[in-house]
Amino acid sequence: MTKRLLTLIMLFTLSLKSLADEGMWLPQLLQTLNEKEMKKMGMKINASDIYNINKSSLKDAIVSLGGFCTAEVISDKGLILTNHHCGFDAIQNHSTLEHNYIQNGFWAYDTKQEIPNQGLFVSFIISIEDVTSSLLKNITSSLTEKERQTAIEKNIADLKKSYKKETYQDIIIKPFFDGNKFYLFLTETYKDVRLVGAPPSSIGNFGKDSDNWMWPRHTGDFSMFRIYADKNNKPAEYSPENVPYKPKRSLSISLKGLKEGDFTMVFGFPGKTNEYLSSYAVKQIATSSDPLKIEIRRNVLETMGSFMRKDEGIKIQYAAKYASVENAYKKWQGEVLGLNKSNAVQKKIDFENSLRNKISNNKDYMTSYGNLLDELSTAYGEIEPFAFARDCYSEIMPRIEIFNICSALNTFITNNKQKDAAANINRNQASIDKIDDIYKEYNAAVDKILFEKLMSIYLAKMNPQDQSTLLKQLLASGKDLKQISDDLYNNSLLNQPDSLIGILKNNKEAINILQKDPAFMLYTDIADAYNKNIAQQVSSLQSKINRLQRTYMEAQLTILKDKRFYPDANSTLRVTYGNVKGYQPRDGMKYHFYTYMDGIMEKYKPGDYEFDVPQKLIDLYRKKDFGRYGVNGRQPVCFIASNHTTGGNSGSPALDAYGNLVGLNFDRVWEGTMSDINYDSSICRNIMVDIRYVLFIIDKFAGAQNLINEMKIN
Ligand code: ARG
Ligand code: GLU
């Protein structure tokens, strides 16, 4: 090979390499920062087709679902598509042993059968604006963190007051780049969102926890809802008079499928990432915080699981809680593995060393950032023991339901200390509703064992001087945790739902009674010990770290002039793009980028909790009755690509080069979950369910042609 050819090849691979898969980009900046690269990677539309405030664009079809997931409009009658696990709360709430929609699925064959969901909402983004200069007005570096916060809040309030908007619109202002920039989002929120369809869990959550965060995957993780509006098509509270919402834009669906290397993008609301942390922070996550939380959750899952396997009622009651505890539990394990395997800490150290070099070669940088990294190192050293105690406390307490009831009662008591009697009635009702909600998913036998297990971890992990005095006294009196929990669960009013709610409703003496309740007394003592010994220190050290991290971010933005930066995810609308491709999880192993229904049958275990398959699906498979959704006699199910996604991107549309809907994002691969901290394009992949599998299930499995007929399918 000639030298010239070699150089050319090298240049070519270099330029391919520098094409980013990494990044969660702001839609309004795509034109400036990304369009060229996106087109190079295969995109056939323009940035202005994705985000445009003057005419309808793809962004008008994307909604935040309840603030925790993403959904997209797929018909002109407000039909939206999201994940099964995003709609799961709704599906579970409407499920009983007689109408078990978790197990059997739910389909509305007529809009009249659609079910309202109190509290569920969707928000559209109307426009996004950089408001940094108005928000950082009068903010100087001499302010303390608290003063800075107060000044920014005042600027936000002023801006909100003067900002022109319609009455049905809202304004959200959020910090980006650790508070170096601020953007304003004008939103419209619809609060009448009804359940339209969900497959049985054996499809929507096929493979459950064993397959969660894993590839190869075969989950039909989707559900459907419909947005309702008032007769002027504007947002409205639930009313039987509301009508299906007419969107500015709905997505067209392509049945063409994708090949390896094809361009895809994911458009949605990623929740939280930490890509710009220092090595000190990453080390703390990988060696201390994640392992602790994993251990606590393992105990929680073992306990819940042992009851759920024996009792159908408990299985329904605890299903959502179990899934959510398990989800992060497994993710953190992948994260630790990935951080170690990709040498994330060393990479950060190398990066810091090169930055230190650049700083020391420039007088101005020296003045602003000369001590920055050393200060960060010291601050992480200082916070370490407190952060450990914080993680311990905040992982343990919410897993014990009787303590969650205590926390709601605390709010109830605080409310009643206030003078405004009329407002108190509403606040009290809110507390009672919250407690009622907790009881719906409460089983005393499960909670009691959780209490025993988790309190023993609390005693083992927290420094003795930071622990609850009352708990230590009870133990010193010769009782063990089992006896303490016997006393507590036998005698506490909190373990008697009807009496407790009755007292809260009728009895003015409620507060006196509560304050003598054994569970409430223990909760208060544990919380007081935490607030006194840990919370204050954590908060002041954390605010120091926040300031340093903001400066560290500023230093990176200032010094690395050639680098293109994207802000960490913060539940705002983002676009991420990449290519369809497999990966090598380990030496000698290569993963393909597509799965088919054949894989469902390979995993099939009759009667199994995770891998059972509905008979009707088996029949369709045997007859190869895939309709127009199959290819060459096979039915595609899931695929992977190098889009940089995170929690909150669930339910986000996967779009092809033309902006057509080709899949639904629902997960990432186990080996790549460290992408929240250290994205590595060789191994980080997002997992999507192929839109053809979704439509196959709706059409062939559920026979809901009414829904298919609403969609625009190419
Ligand atoms: N891992 C996915 C996400 O983070 C899916 C979670 C739902 N599925 C489950 N088996 N828990 O949300
Ligand atoms: N399942 C996640 C969600 O609910 C998406 C997976 C991820 O974290 O990337 O948002």
Ligand number with the minimum distance to the CA of 652? 2
pLDDT score of 451: 98
Residue 1 clears pLDDT 60, i.e. is over it: no
- Domain-located, residue 322: yes
pLDDT score of 420: 76
- Domain-located, residue 44: no
Q: What is the mean pLDDT of residues 361-368?
A: 97
DSSP H or E stretch at residue 572 = none
Residue 232 clears pLDDT 70, i.e. is over it: yes
pLDDT score of 8: 44
Query: Rounded to the nearest whole angstrom, what is the distance from the C-alpha of residue 60 to the centroid of ligand 2?
Result: 22
The residue type at 694:
V
Query: Rounded to the nearest whole angstrom, what is the distance from the C-alpha of residue 69 to the centroid of ligand 2?
Result: 8
Query: Rounded to the nearest whole angstrom, what is the distance from the C-alpha of residue 541 to the centroid of ligand 1?
Result: 33
Query: Rounded to the nearest whole angstrom, what is the distance from the C-alpha of residue 364 to the centroid of ligand 2?
Result: 42
The CB density around residue 311, as the number of other CB atoms within 10 Å, is 15
pLDDT score of 4: 54
Atom of ligand 1 at shortest range from CA of 330: 1
Write the pLDDT tens digit of every residue in 494-503. 999 999 988 8
The residue type at 603:
K
Q: How confident is the model at residue 17 (pLDDT cuts 50, 70, 90)?
A: very low
Residue 603 clears pLDDT 70, i.e. is over it: yes
The answer to whether residue 84 is catalytic is no
Reduced to 3 states (helix: H, G, I; strand: E, B; else coil), residue 618 is: helix
Residue 14 clears pLDDT 50, i.e. is over it: no
The residue type at 557:
L
Partners of residue 265 on adjacent β-strands: 577, 655
Write the pLDDT tens digit of every residue in 75-125. 999 999 999 999 999 998 998 888 999 999 999 999 999 999 999 999 999
pLDDT score of 506: 72
Query: Rounded to the nearest whole angstrom, what is the distance from the C-alpha of residue 90 to the centroid of ligand 2?
Result: 18
401 pocket-lining for ligand 2 (C-beta < 6 Å): no
pLDDT score of 257: 95
323 pocket-lining for ligand 1 (C-beta < 6 Å): yes
Q: How confident is the model at residue 228 (pLDDT cuts 50, 70, 90)?
A: very high
Q: Can you tell me which residue has the tokens 């559900």?
A: 223
Domain encompassing residue 538: 279-556
Atom of ligand 2 at shortest range from CA of 665: 5
| Centroid of chain to Cα 175 | 18
Q: What is the mean pLDDT of residues 607-620?
A: 96
Residue 708 clears pLDDT 80, i.e. is over it: yes
217 pocket-lining for ligand 1 (C-beta < 6 Å): no
pLDDT score of 19: 58
Distance CA 704, CA 483 (A): 55
The residue type at 188:
E
Residue 159 clears pLDDT 90, i.e. is over it: yes
Residue 235 clears pLDDT 70, i.e. is over it: yes
Write the pLDDT tens digit of every residue in 414-451. 888 877 777 778 888 888 999 999 999 999 999 999 99
Query: Rounded to the nearest whole angstrom, what is the distance from the C-alpha of residue 674 to the centroid of ligand 2?
Result: 13
Task: Tell me the HSE value of 435 on the side-chain side, using a 13 A CA sphere.
Answer: 29
What spatial distance separates the first Cα and last Cα of the chain, rounded to whole Å? 46
* 422 against 209, higher pLDDT: 209
Q: 503 with 344: CB under 8 angstroms?
A: no
72 pocket-lining for ligand 1 (C-beta < 6 Å): no
Ligand number with the minimum distance to the CA of 208? 1
Q: 293 with 387: CB under 8 angstroms?
A: no
Distance CA 62, CA 188 (A): 12
Tell me the best of 650, 664, 685, 686 to mutate to test the pocket of ligand 2, counting ligand atoms within 8 Å of each CB and taking the most: 650
Tell me the best of 667, 673, 676 to mutate to test the pocket of ligand 1, counting ligand atoms within 8 Å of each CB and taking the most: 667
The angle formed by the CA atoms of residues 608, 612 and 615, to the nearest 5 degrees, is 135
Query: Which of 625, 613, 579, 621 lies closest to 596 in space, CA to CA?
Result: 621
Residue 9 clears pLDDT 70, i.e. is over it: no
- Domain-located, residue 326: yes
Write the pLDDT tens digit of every residue in 635-652. 999 999 999 999 999 999
pLDDT score of 604: 98
Number of domains the chain is built from: 1
668 pocket-lining for ligand 2 (C-beta < 6 Å): yes
The residue type at 13:
T
Closest Cα to atom 6 of ligand 2: 667
Q: What is the mean pLDDT of residues 269-286?
A: 98
Q: Out of 57, 64, 84, 85, which one is annotated catalytic? A: 85
The count of residues in the chain is 714
* 655 against 514, higher pLDDT: 655
* Burial class of residue 582 (count of CB atoms within 10 Å of its CB; 0-12, 13-18, 19+): middle
Question: pTM (2 decimals)?
Answer: 0.92
Ligand number with the minimum distance to the CA of 666? 2
Q: 391 with 292: CB under 8 angstroms?
A: yes
212 pocket-lining for ligand 1 (C-beta < 6 Å): yes
85 pocket-lining for ligand 1 (C-beta < 6 Å): yes
pLDDT score of 507: 64
670 pocket-lining for ligand 2 (C-beta < 6 Å): no
- Helix 312-341 and helix 344-360, axial crossing angle in degrees, nearest 10: 50
Residue 3 clears pLDDT 60, i.e. is over it: no
Atom of ligand 1 at shortest range from CA of 209: 10
Atom of ligand 1 at shortest range from CA of 207: 10
Distance CA 264, CA 572 (A): 20
- Domain-located, residue 354: yes
Residue 10 clears pLDDT 60, i.e. is over it: no
% the chain with pLDDT above 70: 97
Tell me the best of 84, 640, 665, 689 to mutate to test the pocket of ligand 2, counting ligand atoms within 8 Å of each CB and taking the most: 665
666 pocket-lining for ligand 2 (C-beta < 6 Å): yes
Q: 275 with 347: CB under 8 angstroms?
A: no
The answer to whether residue 608 is catalytic is no
Q: What are phi and psi of 269, to 5 degrees?
A: -120, 70
Q: Out of 250, 431, 650, 675, which one is annotated catalytic? A: 650
Ligand number with the minimum distance to the CA of 215? 1
- Helix 290-310 and helix 312-341, axial crossing angle in degrees, nearest 10: 150
- Domain-located, residue 335: yes
Average pLDDT, the chain: 94
* 155 against 8, higher pLDDT: 155
Q: Can you tell me which residue has the tokens 């420039």?
A: 362
Ligand number with the minimum distance to the CA of 569? 2
Q: How confident is the model at residue 222 (pLDDT cuts 50, 70, 90)?
A: very high
- Domain-located, residue 140: no
pLDDT score of 263: 98
Q: What are phi and psi of 104, to 5 degrees?
A: -105, -10
* 417 against 177, higher pLDDT: 177
Distance CA 385, CA 391 (A): 10
Query: Rounded to the nearest whole angstrom, what is the distance from the C-alpha of residue 677 to the centroid of ligand 2?
Result: 15
The answer to whether residue 528 is catalytic is no
Residue 225 clears pLDDT 60, i.e. is over it: yes
- Domain-located, residue 481: yes
647 pocket-lining for ligand 2 (C-beta < 6 Å): yes
Partners of residue 122 on adjacent β-strands: 65, 190
Peptide bond into 216 cis (omega under 30): yes
pLDDT score of 414: 85
Write the pLDDT tens digit of every residue in 380-399. 999 999 999 999 999 999 99
Distance CA 642, CA 661 (A): 17
Q: What are phi and psi of 494, to 5 degrees?
A: -70, -15
Query: Rounded to the nearest whole angstrom, what is the distance from the C-alpha of residue 647 to the centroid of ligand 2?
Result: 4
667 pocket-lining for ligand 2 (C-beta < 6 Å): yes
Closest Cα to atom 6 of ligand 1: 327
Q: What is the mean pLDDT of residues 609-625?
A: 97
DSSP state letter for 591: B
Residues whose CB is less than 8 angstroms from the CB of residue 220 and which lie 6 or more positions away in sequence, other chains included = 84, 199, 203, 204, 206, 637, 689, 693, 694, 697
Q: 335 with 120: CB under 8 angstroms?
A: no
Q: How confident is the model at residue 455 (pLDDT cuts 50, 70, 90)?
A: very high
- Domain-located, residue 511: yes
Q: In Å, what is the CA distance from 641 to each residue of 207, 261, 266, 311, 617?
A: 20, 9, 10, 39, 27
Dump the DSSP string for 408-420.
Answer: HHHHHHHHHHSS-
Q: How confident is the model at residue 26 (pLDDT cuts 50, 70, 90)?
A: very high
The two structure tokens encoding residue 457: 């971890």
Query: Rounded to the nearest whole angstrom, what is the distance from the C-alpha of residue 467 to the centroid of ligand 2?
Result: 35
Closest Cα to atom 1 of ligand 2: 667
Distance CA 415, CA 409 (A): 10
pLDDT score of 7: 47
Q: What is the mean pLDDT of residues 323-335?
A: 95
pLDDT score of 16: 41
Q: What is the mean pLDDT of residues 215-241?
A: 98
Q: How confident is the model at residue 400 (pLDDT cuts 50, 70, 90)?
A: very high
Q: What is the mean pLDDT of residues 170-186?
A: 97
Distance CA 310, CA 625 (A): 37
Ligand number with the minimum distance to the CA of 651? 2
Atom of ligand 2 at shortest range from CA of 271: 10
The angle formed by the CA atoms of residues 203, 209 and 215, to the nearest 5 degrees, is 75
Residue 682 clears pLDDT 50, i.e. is over it: yes
Q: 191 with 238: CB under 8 angstroms?
A: yes
